Amino acid sequence: MEVILTKVPNVLVLKPKVFEDNRGFFFESYNCKKLNAVLNQEIKFVQDNHSRSKKGVLRGLHYQIKQPQGKLVRVIAGEVFDVAIDLRKNSPHLGCWVGYQLSAENKYQLWIPAGFAHGFLVLSEYAEILYKTTDYYAPEYEQCIYWGDPTLAIEWPLSEQPIISMKDQAGRSFKEADLF
């Protein structure tokens, strides 16, 4: 596995070694020992999530203020622009975001540690995303930052107005957000 560093330390793009021939491909999508070595800490995943969305759907920017979740995100069908925003109040990167295209074709994964908000925009006709989390979903602690917040100035690759849930449309501004 190749590790690609991002502009926000601790958020990593993981590029697996893919073995491909005329029959198809094989790659190791998760190896606890290797991931822990890369992160230099012991990670324990407790939940796997599967999401399917159509083109133009923008989900996020979600996080849990209690029971924060680290996430290992990958796309198994289609392509998304995946975003993580640092919400750690003592971080020199507070409010900084990183965004990467993850796709079934490139097989990249994004490691997003606890203390970050997460969101994505579907770029293909549809996309299916799998992500592992380090803590359980707790809707009573879930929070949302407005995807188009001008302070964050996320450069979403939009070609038209995104499709957004009512909950996400009502997200708070970054300045009003609870931080870790």
Q: Looking at residue 78, what DSSP letter applies?
A: S
Task: Give the separation between CA 61 and CA 84, rounded to whole angstroms.
Answer: 8
Positive/negative CA dihedral, 169, 170, 173, 174 = negative
Question: End-to-end distance of the chain based on CA atoms, in angstroms?
Answer: 30
Active site residue 131: yes
Residue 70, exposed/middle/buried by CB under 10 A (0-12, 13-18, 19+)? buried
Computed on alpha carbons and rounded to an integer, the radius of gyration of the chain in Å comes to 16
165: left (phi over 0), alpha (psi -120 to 50) or beta: beta
Q: What is the number of alpha carbons within 13 Å of residue 177 lying toward its C-beta?
A: 32
Out of 63, 100, 108, 131, which one is annotated catalytic? 131
**Where do we find the tokens 């502009």?**
7
Out of 62, 63, 93, 136, which one is annotated catalytic? 62
The residues that are catalytic are 62, 131
